[in-house]
Amino acid sequence: MFGLLILSYLMSIPDRKPHLDDAWLSEHSYWLLNHGVAQTKLMTGIADGENRLVLHHKLFTLQGAAVIFLFGYSLQWLKSVGLLYLLLTVLLIYANRRHKKLFYNEFAAFLCVLLLWLHPLVFEFSFVFRPETMLMFFGLVSFLLLQRSADQDDSRMPAWLSGLVAGIAFATHLNGSVAIAAGFLFLVFRRQFKLAALFALGAITTATIYFYDFGGLSDFGLWYRQLTFIPSGDDQSNGIFWKFLMNIFNEHERYFHSPKEIVFTLLILLSLVFLWKKQRHNYPVLLQYTFWLVLSMSIIALNKTSKYLILLLPYFSMILSNVLTDSELMRKKTLRISLISLLAIFILTSFIYNFITATEKYDPQLNRNITAKLAGAQARNMTVMAPMMFVFDEMSQYQKIISLMSINERLKIDSTLKSVGLLDKLSGEGIDMLLLNDHYIDKLDFGDFAPGDQVHGFELIYKQPDLMAWRKFAPDLIKTDEKLPTDQHIGIFYYGSAFSY
């Protein structure tokens, strides 16, 4: 099965389709490298991020800038950052395979790697330009240092180093605060107060890296404005601290989001019941730390997206692999039948999700053809609004690309940004061309227009169910009746453009 997993993963790498965040987050790195500050032209109009963005994943953004400097604005190389940290995590687990307070035996460590890599969240997001696998790695390093601290008589140095690494996780992504909270609470509730203080000191030291691009106190105001505007349109009238307090009651949404999360969650719950009753004394640090990590995640991580579970999956995989390889536990018929049945469902579900991920590809030439036919040589002087993934590989073809996702955010405060109202607004914002896929044609109420319609200085120059193009009216507009493909099938693979996902 491991061979099939690796084969399917390798099959997924070439031309893997871009994730929304590949575009969104890599753009921060692109402008940091080229303008010296992180910016988001794609999200123009959102909390001044097009001029300066202080809310970004600092160490991750810096890594992305280094990748772009070395390899150019390459989707595949940017995606490879996540894979690097997955491989480092696997090596870390392998290096600790003989640790009896982590693994029942060496096979349990192998099984842990298999379960971790097989999980659809890891299979997908380990090759997405997002910081989750980087967080997973640094979180695991911090935990292993705490485990070493618990194993040693003179445990001050490992505790301090654990805090340093947890602070690096925070500087990578704000969700790294979960590793800081979990490590600190773990030590406090073990009544190791001096170690908790050392851990906190280490965490504070490296967490300050996050604020490296703050020029003064006013930047904290900008950071808070971007933090509370960009992620959601949720009501903040009761205050952000009340939201943190009540956050725990919706945590089930993360674990029961879809079949890929539900089956694994049931596996972990069943494993914990039996492991806690029979083997809790063998894995005290693992179980206690996992508890504090889960609790911290439920309070701190406001967004209930399931991809944040990646930070927790190494510990869940350890727990599950220890139960599956414990011969004494597996003698229990009820546990064995229940666990193996759920495991079989998890494996089947995972391979289905992973097969879909492996066969959905991306062909940037489709985007290039759309640009050539609808904008031509004029594109380099144009500002275009299009689906976010249009930046691959059209970033250098236009003067500026703004994502339609920015309209999603602006709609939360201005409901008129649809149809005629949107064209009216864009006419005063310097937009030269508007490209819509079928999702936005429907969402923004553009379905009733016909080619040749002129509205607020724009003319509809192309219309198909999967692509609509509006351009600023001019006598020499490029027009075409040719069907511009936005996707194609080649064998089992589906190749799409920015307009097909």
**Residue-level pLDDT at 480:** 77
**Rounded distance between C-alpha atoms, residue 452 and residue 249, angstroms:** 52
What are 252-303's pLDDT values in tens digits? 999 999 999 999 999 999 988 877 777 778 899 999 999 999 999 999 988 8
Q: Which helix (H) or strand (E) holds 452?
A: none
**Residue-level pLDDT at 282:** 86
What's the whole-number mean pLDDT along residues 481-485? Answer: 90
**Residue-level pLDDT at 393:** 92
Contacts 24+ apart (CB under 8 A), 451-459: 455/420, 455/423, 455/424, 456/420, 456/423, 456/424, 456/426, 456/427, 457/423, 457/427, 458/423, 458/426, 458/427, 458/434
Backbone angles phi, psi at 16, to 5 degrees: -60, 140
What's the whole-number mean pLDDT along residues 340-351? Answer: 95
Least confident segment among 192-201, 428-437, 440-449, 474-483: 474-483
**Residue-level pLDDT at 239:** 60
Backbone angles phi, psi at 135, to 5 degrees: -60, -45
DSSP secondary structure, 372-418, as one string: HHHTGGGGGG-EEEE-GGGHHHHTTTSSEEEETHHHHHHHTT-TT-S
What's the whole-number mean pLDDT along residues 310-338? Answer: 91
Q: Residue 436 carries which DSSP code?
A: E
User: Predicted confidence band at 479 (pLDDT cuts at 50, 70, 90)?
Assistant: confident
Q: Where are the domains of the chain?
A: 2-358, 363-496
Q: Contact at 8 Å (CB) between 461 and 478? A: yes
Q: Contact at 8 Å (CB) between 426 and 63? A: no
**Rounded distance between C-alpha atoms, residue 256 and residue 299, angstroms:** 17
What's the whole-number mean pLDDT along residues 131-151? Answer: 96
Rg (CA), the chain: 25
Q: Bridge partners of 435?
A: 469
**How far lies 210's CA from each of 62, 233, 484, in Å?**
11, 25, 45
DSSP secondary structure, 74-138, as one string: -HHHHHHHHHHHHHHHHHHHHHTTT-TTT-SSHHHHHHHHHHHHHSHHHHHHTTSSSSHHHHHHH
Which of these, 12, 263, 21, 26, lies nearest to 124 by C-alpha position? 12
Residues 6+ apart with CB under 8 A from 100: 282
**Residue-level pLDDT at 232:** 45
Q: Bridge partners of 360?
A: 494
**How far lies 271's CA from each of 97, 162, 262, 330, in Å?**
20, 27, 14, 11
Q: Contact at 8 Å (CB) between 171 and 210? A: yes
The greatest distance separating any two alpha carbons of the chain, rounded to the nearest whole angstrom, comes to 82
Q: Which helix (H) or strand (E) holds 327?
A: helix 327-330
Q: Contact at 8 Å (CB) between 386 and 403? A: yes
What's the whole-number mean pLDDT along residues 297-324? Answer: 94
Backbone angles phi, psi at 120, to 5 degrees: -55, -30
What's the whole-number mean pLDDT along residues 207-213? Answer: 96
Q: Bridge partners of 460?
A: 470
What are 427-465's pLDDT values in tens digits? 999 999 999 999 999 999 999 999 999 999 999 999 999
Which of these, 437, 428, 417, 481, lies nearest to 457 by C-alpha position? 428
User: Predicted confidence band at 327 (pLDDT cuts at 50, 70, 90)?
Assistant: confident
What are 231-249's pLDDT values in tens digits? 444 445 556 666 677 788 8
Instruction: Report residue 95 CA to chain centroid gap.
Output: 27
Global pTM reads 0.93
Which amino acid is located at 154 in the chain?
A: D
Q: Bridge partners of 361?
A: 16, 495
Question: SS3 of 315, please?
Answer: helix
**Residue-level pLDDT at 482:** 87
What's the whole-number mean pLDDT along residues 206-234? Answer: 84
